[in-house]
Amino acid sequence: MQFTQKSREHIESCRFCWMCHHICPIGNATGLERHTARARALGLSLVAREAVEFSEDIVANVYECALCGGCVADCTTGWDPVMFTKEARLGAALDGKLPPYVLKMLANFQETGNVYRLKNENKIPDFADSDTLFFIGEDTRAMGCAKMAVQLLQKAGVDFTVLQDEPSSGYSMSFLIGAAAETKTVMEKCAATLAKYKKVICYDPADAKVMKREYKEWGITLAPEVLTFTELLADLIQSGKLPVRAQDLVFTPQDSPLLARDLEEIEPIRSILSACGEVREMFLHGKETMLAGNLIMHQYMPHVMEKVAENRWLNAKNIDAKIMVTACPAEYVLLSKTRPAGIELMKIEEVILKCL
């Protein structure tokens, strides 16, 4: 396994540091030191200096990271464990050392277009052609269509279309094997499909993050303007196209790290919820948010991912939250699995539909 000089510098710095020890949602869920950025850097530093082999256990540890960026956001000295973790995943792919569960998901992707090997049974209605595309996303199509989101856009009079054979944005491939040629091929195919549209509305923050950030990093040109679902909804409410009425309800936003950290989008969900009722924040929110789950990792670390979601519910209970609201499909699925009594869970589109 060969690391770039930049990654080596970050690995060597992180292996001595405990600064982000408290912020890792995986480490907090398991209580294991191996799930901290420092421990991961320590193992990879031994590999980088050729003191040990890039062993099965070290590779497995590389996949025990959610890439949520909490460690990066918390670091005041600018080190980036996410960067060297993704580079290590690429190295595992190039060296033929991917874990069996990753190989299985990659095979699933080749067969079905998603890593879960689920075929979407919820057929999407035919839509007329439009220069605006509503991009539903791999996670949502596999787990169930965004029917309420489609309904809400129709109520707002938004002219849009959807694709029956929607391509993957490349998010799952990027998560699993990083900057591999296969990942770029998937992204380029998606960019070519989207080239005919003027605007793309991404329902899933994961797709928005990839299109807005990673395509540029790969030198992939994306012709249409890309909007997150939440920023579109905030604009529709502000313009009066979604005439919501404030209710006697208290909402607590669960900020997706993909939105709040990767895309630095914090205000739209609060603008929406403020128009619909009162907002009550958890202690860790905005850029300091905590992950509430990752569906890809749920395939091989289900109990840990559910504990991650349970911890977020505990954060909500600590401020006497009434309704937790999320704009992330993956987090919604895992929060649904672990929801305690006494707190309601809603998607952002559910909130608006309730308040129209």
Which tens digit of pLDDT belongs to each residue from 327-356? Answer: 999 999 999 999 999 999 999 999 999 999
By the 8 A CB rule, do 220 and 184 touch? Answer: yes
Which CATH number does 132-233 carry? Answer: 3.40.50
pLDDT digits (tens, 9 = 90+) for 268-310: 999 999 999 999 999 999 999 999 999 999 999 999 999 999 9
Predicted local distance difference test score (pLDDT) of residue 128 = 76
What is the tens place of the pLDDT at every residue in 79-114? Answer: 999 999 999 999 999 999 999 999 999 999 999 889
For residue 124, the model assigns a pLDDT of: 63
Between helices 37-48 and 81-94, what is the axis angle to 10°? 50
E-strand spans in the chain?
132-135, 199-202, 225-228, 250-254, 278-279, 323-326, 344-347
Produce one character per residue of 16-44: b if its CB has 16 or more CB atoms within 10 Å, e if not: ebeebbebbbbbbbbeeebbbbbbbbbbb
CA distance 23 to 115: 28
Q: How far apart are CA 205 and CA 13, in angstroms?
A: 31
Which residues, other chains included, contact 174 with Cβ-Cβ below 8 Å and sequence gap of 6+?
A: 86, 183, 187, 210, 214
Instruction: Say what the pTM is.
Output: 0.95
**What are the sequence ranges of the domains in the chain?**
5-97, 132-233, 242-355
- In this predicted model, which residue has the larger pLDDT, 124 or 327? 327
Burial label, 111 (beta-carbon count in 10 A; 0-12, 13-18, 19+) = exposed
d(CA 102, CA 80) in angstroms, rounded, equals 23
pLDDT at 240 > cutoff 60: yes
CATH of the domain spanning 242-355? 3.40.50
pLDDT in tens, 6-56: 999 999 999 988 888 889 999 999 999 999 999 999 999 999 999 999 999
